[in-house]
């Protein structure tokens, strides 16, 4: 089948080449230069330009509406609502600029096509125009960048010390969550302590770590409560990507990175919003970190405070008695 398709393509190319030769030869016979561009050719091209503009608009709008459902659902975090607003603001500006500049480009080509009875006006420099196309983009960019930096700073400013600390630990190719327990302090960790039985490199001599709860299959966070995330990596650079919460942070071996956000939509609510009863939030690795990078993920569940407590109790019930006393 493939051979037939290639054969047809080669035949089509040969036919087009022969056709061009026929046109050239017939022009030669008539005594006309086949490479000379006439007014008629220009007029045809100008109309084609105009048609292409209409095609471009229809196709762009079709893409915009047709692929709308491929976008992420509404933001599930508080700051994500502002990020979405800023993204939409940017997209509106981009669309206006795209429409105006491309319309001008094609309308000019259509209206002022080359004619032998018309001479193009020529000027080398115009200060007003220079001011306009330098000044307007500069002001627009300044506004966008200013709004972006302000939002970025607000997201990354240190969280209040009372905010619950949850560590996300990355290694090829999984995530592990460590909750700070009742004292809201994570026990110390050191890469020198990493071994088969202590993958996270935890320092057991640090009392603060005795009530830490380590969970490797689910990251459960309570709704409407700020979470202060800390990130570590064992091996290479990973990136903690929370698409539904509009958050992402690099996880760098040898250092701790952090940010905090407040989830505002529970998993149950998001299932209703998306109309998908199987919807689950997910934390993905967004840094190509090795062979199984594509499958490096952990499920995130956002639930009520009661659901969160039930979840934690389920994960601490087998802790040794002296640890359980600290957790509860």
The distance of closest approach from Cβ of residue 263 to Cu ion in the complex, given in angstroms and rounded to an integer, is: 23
- Cα separation, 273 vs 275, whole angstroms: 6
Cα–Cα distance between 179 and 177 in angstroms, integer? 7
- In the bound complex, what is the minimum distance in angstroms from residue 309's beta carbon to Cu ion? 31
Task: Supply the minimum distance, in Å, between the C-beta of residue 285 and Cu ion.
Answer: 3
Q: Which is nearer to Cu ion, 142 or 294 (CB)?
A: 294
Distance of closest approach, residue 100 Cβ to Cu ion, in angstroms: 42
* Binds Cu ion by CB under 5 A, chosen from 159, 189, 215, 289: 289
Closer Cβ to Cu ion, 289 or 312, answer by number: 289
**Nearest-approach distance from CB 199 to Cu ion, in angstroms:** 15
C-beta closer to Cu ion: residue 221 or 285 = 285
> Segment near Cu ion (CB under 5 A), from 26-34, 66-74, 231-239, 308-316?
231-239
Task: Give the Cβ contact number of residue 177 at 10 Å.
Answer: 21
User: Based on CB atoms, which residue is closest to Cu ion, 53 or 194?
Assistant: 194
Which position among 159, 189, 264, 296 is part of the footprint of Cu ion (CB under 5 A)?
Answer: 296
Q: Which residues pair with 257 in a beta bridge?
A: 231
CB of 70 to Cu ion, least distance (A): 24
CB 109 within 8 A of CB 49: yes
Half-sphere exposure of 182 (CA within 13 A, CB side): 11
Query: How far is Cα 159 from Cα 79, in angstroms, rounded to an integer?
Result: 13
φ and ψ of 171, to 5 deg: -150, 160
Nearer residue to Cu ion within complex by CB, 238 or 260: 238
Q: What is the C-alpha separation between 313 and 328, in angstroms, rounded? A: 8
3-state secondary structure of 149: helix
- How many CB atoms within 10 Å of residue 57? 15
End-to-end CA distance of the chain: 69
Question: Strand, coil or helix: what is 199?
Answer: coil
Decide whether 49 or 252 has the Cβ nearer to Cu ion.
252
Picking from 76, 70, 80, the residue whose alpha carbon sits closest to that of residue 280 is: 76
In the numeric block, which tokens belong to residue 79?
Answer: 């700051």
Which residues ranging from 27 to 56 are in contact with Cu ion (CB under 5 A)? none
> Which window, 15-23, 79-87, 234-242, 307-315, contacts Cu ion (CB under 5 A)?
234-242
Q: Which lies closer to Cu ion via its Cβ, residue 264 or residue 284? A: 284
**Region 267-286 residues binding Cu ion, contact defined as CB under 5 A:** 285
Query: Interface with Cu ion includes 251 (CB under 5 A)?
Result: no
Cβ 107 to Cu ion, closest distance in Å?
49
Among 171, 178, 238, 244, binds Cu ion (CB under 5 A): 238
Residues lying near Cu ion in the complex (CB under 5 A):
238, 285, 289, 296
């Amino acid at each position: 089948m493939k051979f037939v398709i290639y054969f047809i393509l080669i035949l089509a190319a040969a036919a087009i080449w022969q056709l061009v030769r026929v046109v050239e030869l017939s022009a030669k016979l008539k005594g006309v230069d086949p490479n000379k561009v006439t007014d008629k050719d220009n007029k045809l091209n100008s109309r084609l330009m105009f048609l292409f503009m209409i095609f471009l608009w229809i196709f762009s709008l079709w893409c915009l509406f047709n692929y709308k459902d491929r976008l992420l659902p509404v933001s599930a975090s508080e700051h994500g609502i502002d990020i979405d607003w800023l993204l939409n603001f940017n997209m509106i500006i981009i669309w206006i600029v795209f429409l105006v500049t491309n319309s001008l480009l094609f309308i000019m080509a259509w209206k002022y096509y080359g004619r032998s009875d018309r001479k193009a006006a020529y000027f080398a420099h115009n200060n007003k125009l220079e001011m306009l196309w330098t000044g307007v983009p500069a002001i627009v960019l300044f506004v966008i960048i200013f709004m972006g930096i302000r939002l970025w700073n607000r997201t990354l400013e240190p969280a209040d010390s009372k905010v619950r600390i949850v560590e996300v630990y990355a290694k090829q190719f999984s995530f592990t969550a460590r909750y700070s327990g009742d004292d809201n302090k994570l026990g110390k960790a050191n890469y020198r302590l990493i071994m088969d039985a202590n993958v996270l490199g935890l320092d057991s001599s640090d009392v603060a770590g005795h009530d830490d709860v380590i969970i490797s299959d689910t990251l459960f966070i309570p709704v409407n409560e700020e979470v202060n995330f800390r990130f570590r990596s064992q091996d290479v650079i990973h990136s903690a990507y929370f698409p539904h919460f509009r958050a992402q942070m690099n996880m760098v071996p040898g250092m701790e990175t952090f940010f905090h956000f407040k989830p505002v939509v529970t998993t149950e609510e998001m299932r209703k919003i998306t109309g998908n009863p199987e919807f689950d939030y997910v934390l993905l690795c967004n840094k190509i970190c090795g062979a199984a990078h594509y499958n490096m993920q952990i499920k995130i569940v956002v639930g009520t405070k009661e659901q969160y407590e039930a979840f934690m109790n389920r994960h601490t019930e087998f802790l040794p008695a002296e640890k359980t006393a600290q957790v509860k």
